[in-house]
Structure 1
Amino acid sequence: MKPTTKKSTAKLNAAIAPAIRNFKPPEDLTVAEWADRHRRLSPENSAESGPWRTSRTPYLREPMEAFTDPKIRKIVMVAASQVGKSELELNIIGYIIDQDPGSILFVQPSLDDARKFSRLRIAPMIRDSKVLRAKVSDVKSKDSGNTILQKSFPGGMLTITGSNSASALASTPARYILGDERDRWAVSAGAEGDPWALAEARQATFYNAKAVEVSTPTIKGASNIESSYYLGTQERWCHQCPECGEYGEITFDRVHFEHTVAKVRGKKAYKIVGPITWCCPSCGCIVPEEKMRKQPAKWIAENPAAYDEGVRSFWLNAFSSPWTPWEKIALKFLQAKDDPQKLKVVYNTLLGELWEDRGDIADEDTMLARREDYGTNADGSPVEVPEGVLVLTCGVDTQDNRLEYEVVGHGFYGETWGIKKGYIMGKPDTDEVWQQLDDVIDHVYRFNDGKGLRISITCVDSGGHYTQEVYTRCRERKNKRVFAIKGKGGDGIPFVTPPSKVPIKDNKRITCWLYTLGVDAGKETIMSSLKVQEAGPKYCHFPIHESCGYDTYYFNGLLSERLELTQTKRGNQWHWVKIPGHNRNEALDCRNYANAGLKIIDPDMFAVERRLKNVQETPQTKPAQRRKPKPAARNYFDEW
């Protein structure tokens, strides 16, 4: 055996080095530390090209460090545009390639987006970072094994695809999954189903799998990133108030500014006047932007328990971006506030908030704040019926497991008062359920002075699976003015039409009165009334007492639909459609049925008011006419 020499040892090391290099453990670096050491920003993608500095965007430090936290398996980032969320993903990809290699599935909304992102963002990052350039071959090099959508590196491969590509999502095992602009993904990858579910299935064999989900928020209730965010720690980037020391998030509703408006060639031109300030939610102090930007900031979790489940979620708006002055955000808002489509873009991309398109209808929070105290009785109980109410009606919506009802008070000229919103749990074919409804109908609802009103009419929805049962129960209660109704949608259908007799269980001898309602006309009236801002004609009052049932759930249902113009075979037609995020509309239906009840009985409100006030109506009588005296009997002797 020949003695070992330095030359032979060097040859042996050179031979085995490439084979064992992949077994080298990752350095003790977080993603943020790796980026500070190795990442360079490309000049074509950044106004501040050169070495990456996490201190420039301190809010990205924790999301990046969470990736190397062994307890965390998923990171969710909801962020406005141009705050660095794409750089977060790029830094994570660079770290994986250099430090902890494995197969990566990077999903963009579409294949075109994937190709564009690969050319414009990933390729420049690899080119300008020395450690990445040494491990990933150029696409143009011979036998590189790399394409625009696939990048090979020692220990793994980066596959870039679109959410609409079922083959790539379903066939590629991946330890790492990164999803960009999640809210813009296809609803289904071909016919395979949810793209994110398909992607996550590729991680089944990896005990150390990681997932990153990133997106700008879109529409409330229809946002996938919103759903993912609420499954995590729900962290917000909060700044410390220089006055009280408490931490608070900088949101648009806490930012105050003054502006002027002028017309230039018929267009409005806005100008911010004076400093833009932030109002601390804890102490109410006003702090200028320059001072707030220098204040300490940190992530504060609203659901820290999700950390133990391995999911950290972050929500960030543009007020914390070092590249976006607050004045720019304010001006963008002013320029878009009169155009819902432009305003939607501002909400999503700058304010970092979900958009809820209601037209000019208020949201749940506004309606909750509008609730009133109807007063208190001598015994401390809330007043049931406030002054102004003349007639009570009840609308009942029938569900498979309950009845939902609302008692509504009506006054002059369409002014209404919510009296009671409630639920009666149980199947509508049981006596107990209808007995409880009788309790609602038979109850005397009292004014503050002790006088009371009973419900004048009750309209019960007969749609669904219990039509015949509703017919039977309403027939039994016709003396209480409990009537079955059937809603009919469509433009031009009258709100209320004369009732018809319908047979019960095909027995023509036993019938029930059925009213058909034009529900679209009724909804239009309700939404029009909700826009009225001052008490009086058409104004809608709602009680604030908890026992009355007018909570967030109620207003979510009342405001659950909007009118949209849709394309049909007959041309463009208006239809009422549910707003995303509002799955239940029973509150809207109950109010519609209660309003229909008033239309059906059509009371003389002036006569009702006189009866309530015990004003005796004096019948007008004609003034007594003086009778003409009867002519005396002719006496011929008198004539002489």
Structure 2
Amino acid sequence: MSFLADPDDLVASVFATVLRPPPPPDLNAWAEENIVFGRESPFPGRYSRKTQPMAQRILEVLGPDHPARVVTLMGSAQVFKTTIGQIFVAGSMDLDPCDMLYVHPSHDNALRWARGKWRQMRNQSEALKRVFGGEKSRDGTDNMLYQERRDGRGSLLITGANSPASLSMITVSRQVQDDLAKWEPNAGGDPEWQADSRSASFDQAKILKLSTPLFAKTCRITRAYRAGTQERWHVPCPHCFHEQPLEWENFLPSIDPERPEAAHFTCVACGCAIEHRHKNEIVEWGEWIADNPSARQPSFHVWRAYSRARDWASIAEDWLRAQGDPHAEQTFFNDVLGLPYDRAAEAPPWEEIRDRANASDLERGRVPVGGLLMVAGVDCQGDRVEVHVKAMGEGLRRWTVDYLVIPHHIATVEAQAELDKVLMQTWPDSFGRRRALDMLAIDGNAYTRDVFMWAKKHPWTKVIVVRGAKSDLAPPLALVKNERKADGAVQKTQKRFFNVGVSGLKSALYEHLKRQDPLARGYCAYPKGLGDEFFRQLTAEVRVIQKDRWGVPQAFWRVDHDRNEVLDTENYAEAAAIRCGWYTRLPEEWERLRLELERLEEQPQPDLFDPAAPLAGAIPAHPAAPAPDPAPAPPPSFFRPRESGGWFNRD
């Protein structure tokens, strides 16, 4: 009997063992073995699919064996979206190496992610240390924005969507498009199309689209989500076990301003309350169910109600703070609900606003009660300068005090002298005081040099220069730290120059113009006698959606009237108010300001020993003369000029 093995069988056995294909990459198992969250996480420790049950299916469809090509995750802020993206990148680079692309809205966003979240994951994972090496860069193959495996079998390029050059001349089989809703067209066209095309040559490509949504009708992540399966996490009712998604419309009716901690969902089957104490258990037993199951590509939506890190009372409290303020409501819809926000596209009919103004008891030229900040917005035209004087109060309420026209170009001595007078002018209030401007904002988009020459004569704490930023994503007010001059040189703007997000301000104003209750948050009031033209210009623009040349829906404002200076100056005055803390002052700060400005001037008490002082109760020797008739009012006009000699007729 021979105990020697057949050499051919032995060689075949060894080769079979060596060449046996590895098991399919399992991103869930890899994450549990290799991802450990540090103290910066609300749940430090090892990753577990039990504590993140919603992530399991998302990571499954991101695996190479699943046929999905595009996977979309839309959700509120801080609900593991970026964590999913990082696990996808890290697990792929370890288990199934390839060239990958991670795209952020901008180069700055890319750097912050690479230096922050991604570097933390690399330093905390032994698997990633093995793949990429230690913390310190070795050479050009492992730097902040380009990181290559030590064996050269794969790489990760991190870039911004605002750079067309970084989205060309590369081919990758997998990529992550993070914060997709914030991507804007770059010099080369549509960045989403550019990024998608980088994986066009791979049949088995994987593209993960992640983002919190922004605005309805133009939101990229919302469009991707609706094109997919539209899966939502359904949870069982703790009373009858009927499965249902947690929906904002179901939660809203239970919010009590006096008891926000009692907010809850209501079972659509049995009508019982689903309370926060039930959350962890029902979320653990939930499952993804598609609203559009026939779609080829999976898409998912998740919002704060499912988060283990925040309670449901925080949702109710955030809504109570945001309600009535379009800017805050937008943030709430996006960051808390994970839903797109529908901005107001047009104002109420101008006749309604005019009639409401004419029926009010507000006097033109007088500061109304509640107007605690005095600001002005200035617009420069070819033959005149227009000034909108506003009083701003608590609860985002605002009043027009006056509208002035200076019939001179901003470059002239006359115009600048009249603007100087505006800064020195005071307006009477109902408490015996005269109020001066706290801040003036002047448009520097046209006649920039002349505007700055005038503005620099005054302190930046009193006069700021603004220009409209047309992007839907622009913040209401943002300091321009450096400005490029005509010769290409860069100069500092000395805390005086600001970009104004006019698109958002217009939408918010139009929403506020609908308010009928003078005590409502955001109420806008106008004095009588301004004339029809004022209100036509106030409502002159309409927000419309139109596809650009790359077929991407974009929003822009169309002027439907021949003039819109009133609307522009309204926005600039709001910019001045924002600079004065109109958005951010606390209730106690408003109260201190009210006590300072809105109390009657105390009259000096007469000296009892002064023989000239009248005795209490004494009868005057002669009756008081009747008050003279008031001077006749000037003819109704939209304009009030900044010069003596009557009213200026713009025609």
Match of 1:81 in 2: 77
Match of 1:299 in 2: 288
Match of 2:269 in 1: 282
Report the CA distance shift for 1:152/1:341 in structure 2 as closer, same or farther (over 3 A).
Answer: same
- Report Cα offsets for 1:123-152 as digits up to 9, x if no partner: 111111111101103463433621100110
Match of 1:520 in 2: none
Match of 2:94 in 1: 98
Residues 346 and 541, structure 2, Cα contact 8 Å, conserved in 1: no
Where do 1:465-484 residues align within 5 Å? none
The Cα shift of 1:195 comes to 0.8
The one-letter amino acid of 1:259's match is D
Where do 1:285-364 residues align within 5 Å? 285-295=272-282, 296-306=285-295, 309=296, 311-358=297-344
TM-score (norm 1): 0.51
Residues in 2 aligned to 1:144 and 1:313: alpha-carbon distance in whole angstroms:
37
Residues 27 and 87, structure 2, Cα contact 8 Å, conserved in 1: yes
Residues 142 and 148, structure 2, Cα contact 8 Å, conserved in 1: yes
RMSD: 3.3
Report the CA distance shift for 1:527/1:235 in structure 2 as closer, same or farther (over 3 A).
Answer: closer
Say whether residues 1:123 and 2:119 are aligned partners: yes
Q: What is the SS of the residue equivalent to 2:540?
A: strand
Matched residues, number: 351
The Cα shift of 1:39 comes to 1.2
- Report Cα offsets for 1:175-209 as digits up to 9, x if no partner: 11110000011x223x2111111111111222221
- Report Cα offsets for 1:17-57 as digits up to 9, x if no partner: xxx99x985543421111011111133x4132221112112
Report the CA distance shift for 1:318/1:71 in structure 2 as closer, same or farther (over 3 A).
Answer: same
Residues in 2 aligned to 1:176 and 1:258: alpha-carbon distance in whole angstroms:
43
Residues in 2 aligned to 1:360 and 1:323: alpha-carbon distance in whole angstroms:
39
Where do 1:38-57 residues align within 5 Å? 38-43=34-39, 45-57=40-52
Match of 1:140 in 2: 136
Where do 1:29-40 residues align within 5 Å? 29-40=25-36
Report the CA distance shift for 1:145/1:361 in structure 2 as closer, same or farther (over 3 A).
Answer: same
Say whether residues 1:164 and 2:166 are aligned partners: no
The one-letter amino acid of 1:85's match is K
Report the CA distance shift for 1:291/1:28 in structure 2 as closer, same or farther (over 3 A).
Answer: same
Where do 1:495-574 residues align within 5 Å? 574=539
Q: What is the SS of the residue equivalent to 1:259?
A: coil
Q: Unaligned regions of 5+ residues in structure 1, if any?
A: 1-12, 14-19, 262-270, 363-525, 534-571, 590-640
The one-letter amino acid of 1:224's match is R
Residues in 1 aligned to 2:325 and 2:173: alpha-carbon distance in whole angstroms:
44
Report the CA distance shift for 1:339/1:527 in structure 2 as closer, same or farther (over 3 A).
Answer: closer
Report the CA distance shift for 1:293/1:117 in structure 2 as closer, same or farther (over 3 A).
Answer: same
Report the CA distance shift for 1:237/1:85 in structure 2 as closer, same or farther (over 3 A).
Answer: same
Residues 175 and 210, structure 1, Cα contact 8 Å, conserved in 2: yes
Residues 79 and 215, structure 1, Cα contact 8 Å, conserved in 2: yes
Report the CA distance shift for 1:343/1:529 in structure 2 as closer, same or farther (over 3 A).
Answer: closer
Match of 1:59 in 2: 54
Report the CA distance shift for 1:258/1:236 in structure 2 as closer, same or farther (over 3 A).
Answer: closer
The Cα shift of 1:165 comes to 1.1
Residues in 2 aligned to 1:234 and 1:244: alpha-carbon distance in whole angstroms:
25
Stretch of structure 1 that moved more, 240-249 or 230-239: 240-249
Residues in 1 aligned to 2:83 and 2:128: alpha-carbon distance in whole angstroms:
15
The one-letter amino acid of 1:301's match is A
Report the CA distance shift for 1:55/1:286 in structure 2 as closer, same or farther (over 3 A).
Answer: same
Where do 1:361-380 residues align within 5 Å? none
Greater fraction strand? 1
Residues in 1 aligned to 2:341 and 2:214: alpha-carbon distance in whole angstroms:
6
Q: What is the SS of the residue equivalent to 2:131?
A: coil
Report the CA distance shift for 1:194/1:108 in structure 2 as closer, same or farther (over 3 A).
Answer: same
Residues in 1 aligned to 2:325 and 2:539: alpha-carbon distance in whole angstroms:
20
The one-letter amino acid of 1:286's match is A
The Cα shift of 1:350 comes to 0.7
Residues in 2 aligned to 1:528 and 1:173: alpha-carbon distance in whole angstroms:
49
Residues 111 and 165, structure 1, Cα contact 8 Å, conserved in 2: yes
Say whether residues 1:150 and 2:146 are aligned partners: yes
Match of 2:467 in 1: none
- Report Cα offsets for 1:497-550 as digits up to 9, x if no partner: xxxxxxxxxxxxxxxxxxxxxxxxxxxxx99999899xxxxxxxxxxxxxxxxx
Q: What is the SS of the residue equivalent to 1:253?
A: helix
- Report Cα offsets for 1:222-260 as digits up to 9, x if no partner: 100111111111101111123343221112221254534
The one-letter amino acid of 2:181's match is D
Where do 1:225-240 residues align within 5 Å? 225-240=221-236
The Cα shift of 1:284 comes to 2.7
Match of 1:272 in 2: 260
The Cα shift of 1:58 comes to 1.0
The one-letter amino acid of 1:36's match is E
Report the CA distance shift for 1:244/1:532 in structure 2 as closer, same or farther (over 3 A).
Answer: farther
Q: What is the SS of the residue equivalent to 1:120?
A: helix
- Report Cα offsets for 1:450-481 as digits up to 9, x if no partner: xxxxxxxxxxxxxxxxxxxxxxxxxxxxxxxx
Residues in 2 aligned to 1:141 and 1:87: alpha-carbon distance in whole angstroms:
23
Residues 257 and 320, structure 2, Cα contact 8 Å, conserved in 1: no
Residues 26 and 100, structure 1, Cα contact 8 Å, conserved in 2: no
Match of 1:3 in 2: none
The Cα shift of 1:293 comes to 3.3
Residues 64 and 88, structure 1, Cα contact 8 Å, conserved in 2: yes
The one-letter amino acid of 1:178's match is V
Residues 27 and 99, structure 1, Cα contact 8 Å, conserved in 2: no
Report the CA distance shift for 1:583/1:95 in structure 2 as closer, same or farther (over 3 A).
Answer: closer
Residues in 1 aligned to 2:512 and 2:304: alpha-carbon distance in whole angstroms:
35
Residues 139 and 147, structure 1, Cα contact 8 Å, conserved in 2: no
Residues in 1 aligned to 2:346 and 2:275: alpha-carbon distance in whole angstroms:
32
The Cα shift of 1:361 comes to 8.8
The Cα shift of 1:76 comes to 0.2
The one-letter amino acid of 1:298's match is E
